Amino acid sequence: MKSEDYAQGDTFQAEKRTIFSSEWLPVCAEAQLARPGDFLSATVGGWSVVAARDKAGEVRVLRNACRHQNMPVVGVPAGNCESFRCRFHGWTYDLAGGFLGAPPPVAPPDPKANLSLQSLATARAAGLLFFSMGKPAAAPGLGALPTSLPAYGGTLSTDIACNWKVAVEHLLGERASSADFTWLWPLLALRRAGRLAIVEQLVPQTFLRTRLLTHVFGGAADEHQQAAGTIKHVCEALQLDRAGGRPAAEGTLVDDFHRRLAEAYAQDHPTT
C-alpha cells in the first residue's frame, strides 16, 4: 500500500467502485431492529442505506435515496416510525420502501410509475444484517461465520479518525494469533472469549473517518468501552504513520488483506 491509499479520497472512490459496490457489507446487528418500525441509517463505503423492520417483522435494507431528487430520505441515525417522510419535499414511503404519496406541488408526473426506494440484496449471519449493492447469486463468504451466538448484549459505536484499512490492519495484527478469531473480508472480525462473542464491524464513512461498531453477544457491551477506546487511540496514531509512509507490519492475515486490496485496485485500473 502507498501512503496516498490511506489519505486520499481518490482511493476511497476506487474502493467504492470495486469493493463496496459488490461485496456483502455488514450494516448492523439484527437485534438493533428489534421492534416493527425500528430503523437505522448508515453510510457504508460511500453508500447511504437504511435498514428497517416492517409491520410484519420482515427486515430490509433500502437505498437511502429519495426517488424525487435523490436526496437522503432518512436524516437521523436510528429511530422507530410508521413510515419515512423525506425531509426535503415530503415524499413518503412505507417501511418496505413502497411509495405512499407526495404533496401536490411536487407530485410525480406519472403516479403509476414505480417510485419505491431501491431494495437491496440482504443476508444474515453471526447475528448481523448484511447488504450488497450488487446482485450476488449467493452469500458464500458469510458461511464462514457461526449461525448462532449467545444472547445479544448491545453495540458500542466508536468514531475513529483513520482510514478503514488502518483499522482492519490493526485488528488483523492484534488478533491473528487467536485461535478463536474469524476475519470476513472486507469489514468484519469475530472473536470468542470464553462465553463471549465479540463482532467488530467497521463502517468506512469517508477516507479519513471510520466507525467501529462493537457488537457484544453473551455479555454487556458497556464492559468493552475501554477496549474500543484503545482501538481508537492506536488507530489514530497508526493513521499518521501510514500517511507518513510507514507501512503496516507484515503478517499472514494482513498480507492476505493487502492481496485482496491489490486485486480490487487492479479491477479499477486493468493493465490489459
Interface contacts to ligand FES, rule CB under 6 A: 66, 68-69, 71, 86, 88-91
Closest CB 83 distance from ligand FES, rounded Å: 13
- State the residue for C-alpha cell 417522510: 85
Q: Is 218 left (phi over 0), alpha (psi -120 to 50) or beta?
A: left
Residue 84 CA to residue 144 CA, distance in Å, equals: 35
Closest CB 95 distance from ligand FES, rounded Å: 17
Q: Copy the grid coordinates of residue 115.
A: 417510485
Nearer to ligand FES, 68 or 224 (CB): 68
Nearer to ligand FES, 69 or 147 (CB): 69
Closest CB 97 distance from ligand FES, rounded Å: 13
Nearer to ligand FES, 41 or 158 (CB): 41
Closest CA to 49 of 40, 36, 57: 40
Nearer to ligand FES, 69 or 206 (CB): 69
Nearer to ligand FES, 88 or 265 (CB): 88
End-to-end CA, the chain: 21
Q: Indicate the length of the chain as a whole number.
A: 272
Closest CB 217 distance from ligand FES, rounded Å: 37
- 186 upstream amide cis, omega within 30 of 0: yes
Closest CB 113 distance from ligand FES, rounded Å: 15
- State the residue for C-alpha cell 459488490: 22
- Helix (H/G/I), strand (E/B), else coil: 66: coil
Residue 261 CA to residue 18 CA, distance in Å, equals: 9
Nearer to ligand FES, 13 or 119 (CB): 119
Residue 76 CA to residue 86 CA, distance in Å, equals: 11
Residue 67 CA to residue 70 CA, distance in Å, equals: 6
Closest CB 246 distance from ligand FES, rounded Å: 44
